[in-house]
Chains A and B, each alone.
Chain A
């Protein structure tokens, strides 16, 4: 290593390859990275503090703003956590609809990841194809919930409304089309010699280190640890589906890429199974303290009107207790620690954000590599600053 002065450079917060407002202070020896100091908090909105003054249903739109690339998965994490605290089980149909929407959101999150990751490294074509397909999912989300990016479609105790025949039609078309699209992404990147040279052997982290640094999700699975919460601690009916958990061997950027690419196929596989086996029935739990009565009932029945008013104004009453519940977000283990105190507001809500921990391990993965490789490492862990800063 050359004897000389270290050069300190500032990367971000306004840098397109940091995927948001992440600021890295890099110390360089020539072009080699010696030290990395991430600075976060530019997007801190105090979601945990705000949640303490809201009722349990009102928190749902806040969770959309955590990982806004796969918002439904954040809804899923929150709603299943509240249901665990309440101790209720929602109907099978609602669970399956949640799985379909959640897996669509996961595909959407991975679309944004592969598009921008490839764009950062210099492969410009991919982003156009992924955004074309992302648009299809956005249209489907709009059809069922009315919103595109932050749908807030899930509710405590079920989902906002049942899916429509139009949605099923779109979804069937998408299922038919999507394998071709994934083949297309693979053709562009997987055997591309430039892509391989930019990603293989970069940002290596061993399985033991990855666990010790708290990596979860595809970033941990790239190192060969098959920790997928959908399999490890099934929630929302995931135990009914047959799917594989892809793992890598080397724990480098390329393996993390391969894991996520395989997750496209596996997610589609889950969606297909959920759609084929979608049971009939209600989409909300039959619990008068949690679920709104129908609008038709409200017009005819005074007690239903009172009940609807009470639920809208107060939300569900949650018993005293503390739980931790986590789901497999598109970036890793998305957990909620909820403290209920018997009132309609959460006493404390802590979000276990996967990206927050992933960024803290950046130095481990980047040290000793070239400055240009910092970009591929950031891309490979797939961070969203909305979730890091909360």
Chain B
């Protein structure tokens, strides 16, 4: 049975009425914004439910919307192998708050969550192996944050052109 975006949304709203904060249908893809507390329950439901059955987690994306509160957004990209549907699940994350991991549902969440932790500095509670992945272990900072200088911390310091000394 093929499901379209409206049907998926209808079923989700029936199940988690107050946890779905917002829903957007933009350029053919459905995106739902869910509350952080209910995230793990919703993800488990999306994976286990027979009609929805989103069995492929393609990626986890971290977004930094700096001056805004809550500061971060984490987006999960889900696909169903039954009829190749796509669903984007977004959650708003304040700074220094951990997101519950979904590695117990999809094994493929392991490295993407590590990457979000490494480059964006969002931590995932319950993750089995939350270490840096692309940057080296003693690297200072999270490069994809908007307040991280483009050329790296070493390059953006102000220096005096006459003495070639860092001010």
Given contacts A324-B77, A337-B75, contact A44 B135 (CB under 8 A): yes
The answer, among A227, A233, A350, for a CB contact under 8 Å with B59, is A350
Chain A's closest residue to B47 (CB) is A212
Say yes or no: is B61 at the interface (Cβ < 8 Å to chain A).
yes
Chain B's closest residue to A227 (CB) is B81
Q: Mark A196-235, 1 if CB is under 8 A from B, else 0.
A: 0000000000000001111010000000010100001100
A204 to chain B, nearest CB (A): 16
Is the CB–CB distance between B108 and A213 below 8 Å? yes
The answer, among B55, B86, B136, B143, for a CB contact under 8 Å with A49, is B143
CA distance A216 to B110 in the complex (A): 16
Is the CB–CB distance between A335 and B59 below 8 Å? yes
Say yes or no: is A40 at the interface (Cβ < 8 Å to chain B).
yes
B50 to chain A, nearest CB (A): 15
CA distance A326 to B28 in the complex (A): 13
Is the CB–CB distance between A348 and B55 below 8 Å? no
Residues of B within 8 A of A389 (CB): 134
Given contacts A227-B81, A322-B26, contact A214 B143 (CB under 8 A): no
Is the CB–CB distance between A335 and B144 below 8 Å? no
CA distance A352 to B115 in the complex (A): 11
Is the CB–CB distance between A41 and B136 below 8 Å? yes
CA distance A359 to B55 in the complex (A): 19
Is the CB–CB distance between B55 and A212 below 8 Å? yes
Q: Kindly identify, within residues 74 to 128 of chain B, every residue whose CB is under 8 Å from any CB belonging to chain A.
A: 75, 77, 79, 81, 84, 86, 88, 106-108, 110-112, 115, 119
Say yes or no: is B29 at the interface (Cβ < 8 Å to chain A).
yes
Is the CB–CB distance between B31 and A322 below 8 Å? yes
Is the CB–CB distance between B84 and A227 below 8 Å? yes
CA distance A225 to B77 in the complex (A): 19
Is the CB–CB distance between B150 and A326 below 8 Å? no
CA distance A35 to B136 in the complex (A): 21
Say yes or no: is A87 at the interface (Cβ < 8 Å to chain B).
yes
Residues of B within 8 A of A213 (CB): 107-108
The answer, among B27, B61, B88, B136, for a CB contact under 8 Å with A84, is B27
Chain A's closest residue to B88 (CB) is A324
Say yes or no: is A68 at the interface (Cβ < 8 Å to chain B).
no
Is the CB–CB distance between A53 and B150 below 8 Å? yes
Is the CB–CB distance between A232 and B61 below 8 Å? no
Query: Interface residues, chain B, CB within 8 Å of chain A?
Result: 26-27, 29, 31, 55-59, 61-64, 75, 77, 79, 81, 84, 86, 88, 106-108, 110-112, 115, 119, 133-136, 143-144, 148, 150
20 contacts between A and B (CB under 8 A): A41-B135, A48-B119, A48-B144, A49-B150, A211-B56, A212-B107, A213-B107, A214-B56, A214-B106, A214-B107, A227-B56, A227-B84, A233-B86, A321-B26, A321-B27, A322-B31, A347-B63, A350-B61, A352-B77, A357-B112
